[in-house]
Structures are given as C-alpha cells and as structure tokens.
A and B are shown apart, each in its own frame.
Chain A
Amino acid sequence: MLHIACPWCGLRAQSEFTYANDGTLIRPDLSNDSIDDHYNYVYARDPRRGIQDEMWRHSAGCGQFLKVRRDTLTHEIHATGAPQDDLDVPKDDRS
C-alpha cells in the first residue's frame, strides 16, 4: 500500500512497482574475475531495520528501475531517484 514517487512518472501506487534488488549494489567490473567480489555482489546483503536503499522497477508504468530510500520499520519513503542517482544529494542538485 505504499505510494512510490517514480522519478519520471510521479507518485504511483505500489501495485505498479516490483521490488528488484538491493539498491546499493555495483556489479564487479567485467574484467574482475574475483570469486569473492562476485560472491559479495550476489549474496552479501546488509538489510536494515530502518532506512535502506532499494532498487525497484516501475514495472506496470514506464518500466524504469529506480532507487528507493525506504524505512523498513515505518514504511516511510524518504527519497527516490534514478538508478545512478546519489540520494544523499538533493534532487535539484543532481547532475
């Protein structure tokens, strides 16, 4: 029953979105063949009781992935942005 602000489409119902992944993951470089680095990318997670960054997809909307900063305790959403956005930077200042 969340209301998620798609960075492109604006506030939309949760039913239009699909949770995709942890929002902080950066895939190891293609040239990186370290099993540990890939293992961490695939398996290591730091789920929070509180605010965490997640990756969602506006699957029944524009189809774009978006970063969602969500409080897992209260379900508040503090910020959203494009996958490459740094949510710590206010939206207007993002280049």
Chain B
Amino acid sequence: MTGQVFRNGAGGRIDRTVPLSFTFDGKNYQGFQGDTLASALLANGVRVVGRSFKYHRPRGILGAGFEEPNALVQLGDGARTEPNTQATRVELFDGLTATSQNRWPSLQFDISAINGLFHRLLPAGFYYKTFMAPANLWMTYEKIIRRAAGMGRAPTQMDPDIYARRFAHCNVLVIGGGPAGVSAALAAGQSGARVILAEDNPQLSVSETELADMDNVTVLTRTMAAAYYDHNTLILSERIADHKPAPAPFETRQRMWKVRAQQVVLATGALERPLVFPNNDRPGVMLASAAQCYAADFAVRAGNQAVVFTNNDSAYGAARDMKAAGIDIAAIIDTRPEISDSTRELATNTKVLTGHAIIDVASGRGGATRGVTLKAIHPDTGAPKGSPIDIACDVVAMSGGWNPTIHLFSQSKGKIKYDGARAAFVPGQSFQQERSIGAANGTFDHEACIIEGHNAGAAAARDVGFDAPDARTSPSGIPPAAQPLWSAPTGAKRFVDFQNDVTADDIGLAYREGYQSVEHLKRYTTLGMGTDQGRTSNVNGLAIMADHRRLDIPEVGTTTFRPPFSPITLGGIAGWHTGQNFEATRQSAMSAWHEAQGATFSNAGLWRRPEYYPRTGMTPAEAVHHEARHVREKVGVVDVSTLGKIDVQGRDALEFLSRVYINNLTKLPVGKCRYGVMLREDGFVFDDGTITRLAEMRFLVTTTTTHAGPVMTHLEYLAQVQWPELDVHLLSVSEDWAGIAIAGPNSRTLLSQLFQDVDFANEAFPFMGYRETNAGGVPVRLFRISFSGEHAYELNVPADYGLNFWTALLETGADLDVIPYGTEAMNILRIEKGHVTGAELNGRVTADDLGFAGMMSKLKPFVGQVLARRDALTAKGRRQLVGLVPADGETPIPAGAQILADPDAPPPEFTPAAILGEVTSNCYSPALGHPIGLGLVEDGSDRHGDTLYAHSPITSETVAITLTNPVFVDPAGGRLHG
C-alpha cells in the first residue's frame, strides 16, 4: 500500500491544496494541511502505532483527541524532541518526524511481546507486590520494566525555544469551543463582560463571526485548560508554534496563561467510553466517535469494512457518517435486546443485530483486526449463548456510552455525582464560581447544549454585574440519552485501561485480593494512572468492580482528578524563568568594575559579591592571602554595599531600637555608632550590625547581607502589628548607598587626602565615630568602624556615585599602595579578629555563647530577653565561641569538623554525645603564618589552652587543636583605636 489510500477525494476540513510530507518510524508519508498526525497515519493505512505498556501487544489509534491512550509518539529529534505526545492532538506540518515509542526493537517485531505469552508473570498488583517485597528486588525488576516500558525519551539538549507566561483577568472564562461553549461566550460577550474563550483545537467547532468581532472577547485556540486551582485561578496552555516545524525568530513556542476569572463556564464536552470485550485492543478497534471524526472532519476511512459495536444510540450516527465516507458497515451489533424505531431508522439498509455482542476479535498480519466473532447474549446476565457468527472487518467502531469531561470541575473541588440514567459521573454541587454546561454537564442534545450555553454565559455575566441577555427556555422533555453500561462477563484479555494494560480480569483479581475501594483498586492495578488519567477506563473499571461487589457504582467511589488535565511541557511551566531569568540578581554600583578585574563571585542571598581579584603569578589562595596581608600592612578597600541598611526615623525611633537591640542605646549621641546585637523572640541571636545616630530622631542600622530581608520583616512586624502606638518609620536604604570599607594602617592617610575638610585625628573622629561631609558636591557618610580589626572606615555615598569613589580611592591611594580586596580576604581578616558572621550566627547561639553577655542591658526590656533566661540557654555546658589553632602549628583545620575529646573514639556520627563542638570557620592566617579557626565548644571559655580533636566525617581527617581566645590579632584593640 502506498499513498493516502484511505483518504476520500472530497469532504472534511482539510486543505488538499497544501500537501505535507512527514515521517513515521523513518518512513515517508503524505498528509494535508488540517490533518492530525493520527488522521494522516490512518489515511496512509498505518494501523499499528505502538506497543502496549505491559504486554507489548500491538496497538492502533483508539480515539481522535484527548482520550487517546495508545498512539503516544516521540516527536522530532535533537533538542526539540518531545515524548508522549498524543498523535490525535498533533497537528501535521511539513517535515514532521514522529517515532512510535513503546516498542523494542521495532513495531513489527517486538521481543517484549513475549510478555504477552507469559502474562501471568505480570499480573495486576505486580508493582504493588514488588514494592512490598525487599526493596532491592524492586531495583532488579525496575530496570527490566523500564527498558520494556519505553515511555519515550526526554531530550538531552538545551531546549532552543522560548516559553512565556501570561497573566490574564476576565469576568467570564469559558473552557471549550463547542456549541455550548461558543453559545456561552457569545451571551457573556453581548453583556459587555470581559470574556476569554479557550479551545484546544485549532479552531472553534462552530464558526462564529459575531464572537470574533467583539473587542471584549478573547478567543484562544490551540489552548488547553490544564488546571483549575483555588479562587478561580486557571492555567491554560497555549500552543503557539507547535504546528510549525520551528517557531519564527523570537516567537514564543508555548504560552502558559494564568487566568483569574470571576466566573468560569466549563463546556469541556464528553468523551466516549470503550466497550470491554475480549481482544478489544486489536489495532482497528476504535471508538465510534473517533471513526466518525476521521470520516467527517478528515475524509479518512478508518478501514474498508466496519462492524459497529454499541450499547447506545450515539454509534448509529457514527455509522451513518462512516457509511457516507464510503466505509462498508458490515453490521451494527447492539447489546440491547431492543432499540427504538427512530434509532433503527438511522441504520436503514444496514444490518443491525440487537441482543448480540462481540466475543472475540481476530487478528491478521501485524496484529491488526481481521474480523469479529459474535454471539447472542442473555438479556439479563450478558452471558454469550448460541452459536458463534463470524464477520470479516478491519474496523470495529465501539461505543460504550459517554463520560462528561468533568476533570476541571473535579479539580475545582466541585462535587461529582453519579447519574444512573446517563450511566456517568456528572457535575454536582459547584464549589467555586463555576457552571458546567453541555455535554460536560451530561446534556447531549445539540439544541439543548446551545440553550444551556446561552443561559450559563448570560447568568455568569449577570452574577458579576453585567446586563446580560435573557435566559432562553429549553425545549422541555428531552430525556437524557440512555446509556447502559456493558462489559463482556468473561473471555480473555478484555482491556479496560489501554494505556496501562489493565484488564477486566485484573480488576477481578484486585477484588478477590481485597483491594476493593477505588483508591486501592487504582494503586493495585494501576487503573487510570497513565498520562491519560484513565479518561477511557475509569467508569468501566468502577462498573466492573461494582459488579463484583454487588454495589452501585457511586458506592464503590469516584476518582478525584488532579492537574494537569493532560500533560503539559516542563518548558511551559518554567516559562522563561530559566538561565539569567531563573532568579533576579542584585548588583552593587561597583559590580561591573569587579567583573572587569576578573574577580570571581559568590552569592550572598541574591547579591553577587567579588571573592578575590586574581593576580598574575599567584594561585587563587595566594592572591587571597596577599589581599589579607596587605590590609594588615598597608590599606585595602572592599565593596560592602550589600550590607543591609535601614533608615529608622520617628519620635519613638530610639524607644523602638531599644526594644529590639540588646544594647543600651540611651547614651548613644548623634554622630556616634555602636555595635549592636538583636535577638529573636526565642532568645537566640538573630543578627548583628551597627547602629548610627544620624540625628536626634533618626538612626541608620546595618544588618548582615543575608539577614537584611528577615530583619526588616521582623522590625516591620513589631512596628505594625505589636507596637502600632510607636511613631517609627522604617525604610530599607540598602540600595541607595554604595558602601566601601577602607581598612589598614594607611586608611586614615588615604581618607585625609580624599576628604580634606574632615579632621581624621583620633580626638575629632574617634573609633565608632560618624561624620557627614561633601566631596565634589556629593554627600558622603563616614563611619569609623572595623570588621577586619584594623584601623578602618566605611564610607557610604549615593549609589550612582559609588564607582567614582571606588576608583578615586584606588587612584588617590596609589602612593599608599592601596588594593581592592574581596570577601575571601575579608573573611580571613574577621576570623583573625574573632568577629562572628553567619557561620557562627547559626540560629542556635545565645549572646552569652558569643561573649556578648556584657552587652545585654539589664536596664530595659528587649526582644528575646525573657526567653534568653531559660535554663537551657543559660545552663553550663553550652557551646561557646573559641579560637582554634592546630596543635602542631601547621595542619589545616578541616572545615565543618566535629570537635572531640578523644581522637580514638568511634566516629562521632555514631556517638553524638561524644561531640563537644564544631568548627564554624577556618582559614590560613597570613598575619600569624599558620591555620586558625573559630569554633563553638562546650564550656569553651573555660577551656582555653586545652587540646581537643577536630574530626571531619567527610574527609576522615582528625587534627589535634588547641583552644584559644577567639581574638587572634590585636586582642587589646590598639589598631582599632589608634
């Protein structure tokens, strides 16, 4: 067979003037503009499109849309390849390549199909039981099963496409562009409400020019409603360029809409159910609605000769359309003993066998359907009786009734109810501002759908204050279409869930083994757990279980549907929050300068900070040590713009700060700074920084870089929620001021040269002093504070001038041998000085642990004061800050090591009680010429001089260490104050 031999010369919604070439499993085929991959494959006579998940039975196309469980293909290759796409929803384009994915080594010859012969080895509950078995057994099975399952391959290259997100708001959101949805959108649109109508297909099912002309209505086609979340938030996935070989330059491939709708109208239609009978999975057995759709919309004959097998009236219409497209209808087999005259009229000139059922499907070459065997069935039990009848056919078009598509309704927390007359779950009580209409609501009559849509659209608009058109009266007395459930009571391999290979016998096994509730049934058999979420299988599965348990279906239970309705791409979820947009970064006014110098960067919160500046002829470690040594000997400048800065103003600013810092601040005069410590309410240290009194009622407080946000939130919470009576105004000014620390013996000389009108003499500008000046018209804030332990200053200038001052310091200080230094050297300098940072402020230390007990004012209440008095926070045996040096004076102290008394004790990970403390910071000290560290050790203050052991569970090193005063350099503070 070559060419589109199953395509009719006329009819359908395809454009025959635009032929398209595509490949499937490497073979070339032709289709037309408007085809889906599935319709094009059927037009070319391709019947087998995949292998089943567990038994690797050949499978053909079952449906024509969302319901498709079998025809999952891998699209494209390279970076744009995409697994698990439903061929029934893939729009054909020229050059499309697709491969069947659940097969090995090929579709025609599948070694794994041997599973089918030994299927008893893989019964229902197999996965469940192997999970219960020793875990390592599952590891063995898993490899084999995954290889055989072959659910497509994820791409291994970077996705070259652009994905976007889009927020939208509307008064009325209508999901589904069928007759009901379009009618609803029209009625809502006529009221003037802002309406969005979303339809998954490339076009609405009815052309509606009035809708297109309304400015207040947005029609989104190729858009699937994936999720219905709280507060009427819906996620729509719009495929902008999936129907093209590749997006145009700068074009977005998919757009994820996050819609906040005041009212939602769900017109999501209904999906046909398969019938459950032996070998109902043969390629060529498909849903009657699918065969009808291919015939009517695509002018494709699903085969040459069809048997229609049904338990309801809808398949008669399908038979008529199939016949009109040229398919020979060999017979309509109806399980019902009798049908109405009007139904029979639909099948004039067609053989109808009522009270019969298919008891087997014969397969020919490649497994495709070759014919069926029928028997009469007992009207009550459904048991086959009498002699078999064979009918040759290559298509079986089956209809087991219709399931309203209630997935979004269920996601919205609406209550689902079982409708016995329709033999289906239908929407019950809504939970959100939502209405279900049309087939999604169990209304299958076309005219009734349009009226229901109109009324729902108008009512939705009216509910949000629009003057909507009047309700129309529904023609009364349209009975719900009777749709009994039916499944063959016996026979081999009656598939219920095609995607997960769950048979009626598997459900029987689950029943016998006691997994009878719907949740147990689902997990035991994997019924409904595929990517199709059991769209074609749930109701049949429940019906079979209900039959075993002699209960009504609703007594067995229902399934709760979860988002997404149908799989969406990870790219779409990420949007373009990838790469540099993955998260925002914060950069100081000097960032570009650091980059230009080749500095390496590390992250502190969202900030990027320079670690060190590379120097020719030096290793990174040497360059860092050079920077640190240089600061102690001469002078260095470091970018400290990232420190949190909070402007605190108001009549009660001092009172407020007194309540949040442990320090006594009442004596802090204007023009002075103080080192301050803040506790959390639970009594542990929160953060440290400086408090500067800028004016009588104005302070500037600084925080550590990473705590800037949390501290601000903490202060705002206290100011707004707990102490609203205080007149205090807090504003983060971290980004307003570029911050530069100038540290080292030459710092005073350097600043004197740059700010000649400031008296830097000790008496005029002492340690912890604050001065404001002006340089070249720029306001400058100068703080005499030190993190390094050297004679040092920090200067703040408005950020747009930051780089000027940075370069001016370097130029002016050239004679003084000034260099820039980074966070690595800064860290060494502060460890040498015994200053704590995030490593020590780990949320578990008290002020006393760090030696700050003396700072805690006894004259005033402050946050954390009371709980800091708790026994556990004051007891002996707490870990206290100490300095660490290697006992041999040279071995580096391992980072993060545990501190032990006995080097030969069992590994501390097994004996936590043996751990006396931990190494919090460690470095090589260029000033001392040997490694040093800081640590928190039980009663450490009393152990100075003791030798303990630092053991790293990671490197298994154990290093003897001597405990010391944490201040290694200048303990008397002469450098600071000099």
Contact = CB atoms under 8 A, between A and B. Distances in A.
Interface of A: 1-3, 13, 18, 20-21, 26-28, 30-35, 37-39, 41-43, 55, 57, 59, 63-65, 74-75, 77, 83-84
Given A38-B867, A55-B717, 14 more contacts: A2-B231, A3-B232, A3-B260, A18-B713, A21-B721, A30-B861, A33-B865, A38-B681, A55-B721, A57-B713, A59-B713, A65-B716, A65-B721, A84-B724
B717 A21 contact: yes
Contacts of B153: none
Given A1-B233, A38-B866, A20 B861 contact: no
Contacts of A1: 229-231, 233
A13 B260 contact: yes
B129 interface: no
B431 interface: yes
A60 to B, nearest CB: 12
A28 B862 CA distance: 12
Contact of A64 (B413, B720, B867, B870): B720
Given A74-B413, A83-B724, A57 B716 contact: yes
Contact of A35 (B232, B861, B866): B866
A11 to B, nearest CB: 8
A20 B713 contact: yes
A28 B681 CA distance: 11
A2 B716 contact: no
Nearest to A39: B867
B721 A31 contact: no
A16 B720 CA distance: 18
B869 interface: yes
A18 to B, nearest CB: 8
Contacts of B431: 74
B867 A35 contact: yes
Contacts of A63: 716
A41 B756 CA distance: 53
B476 interface: no
A77 to B, nearest CB: 8
B681 A3 contact: no
17 contacts: A1-B231, A1-B233, A3-B232, A3-B233, A3-B260, A13-B260, A18-B713, A27-B722, A32-B866, A33-B866, A39-B867, A39-B870, A41-B681, A42-B682, A57-B713, A65-B717, A84-B724
Which 9 A-B pairs give the minimum distances between C-beta atoms?
A3-B231, A1-B229, A83-B721, A38-B866, A1-B233, A75-B230, A27-B722, A30-B861, A65-B720
A34 B865 CA distance: 11
Interface string B205-233: 00000000000000000000000011111
A63 B870 CA distance: 34
B51 interface: no
A26 B577 CA distance: 40
Contact of B659 (A2, A30, A32, A77): A30
Contacts of A75: 230-231
A40 to B, nearest CB: 11
A1 B724 CA distance: 30
A28 B863 CA distance: 10
A53 B232 CA distance: 22
Contacts of A55: 717, 721
B410 to A, nearest CB: 15
Interface string B652-671: 00000001000000000000
B556 to A, nearest CB: 25
Nearest to B719: A65
B262 to A, nearest CB: 10
Given A55-B721, A64-B720, A2 B866 contact: no
Contacts of B722: 26-27
Contacts of A83: 720-721, 724
A7 to B, nearest CB: 12
Contacts of B229: 1
B231 to A, nearest CB: 4
A74 B413 CA distance: 9
Contacts of B260: 3, 13
Nearest to B870: A35
B464 to A, nearest CB: 13
Nearest to A63: B716
A23 to B, nearest CB: 9
Contacts of A13: 167, 260
A41 B681 CA distance: 9
Given A1-B230, A3-B233, A31-B861, A42 B681 contact: yes
Nearest to B866: A38
A42 B684 CA distance: 12
Nearest to A34: B866
Contacts of B724: 83-84
Contacts of B720: 64-65, 83
A63 B712 CA distance: 11
Contacts of A84: 724
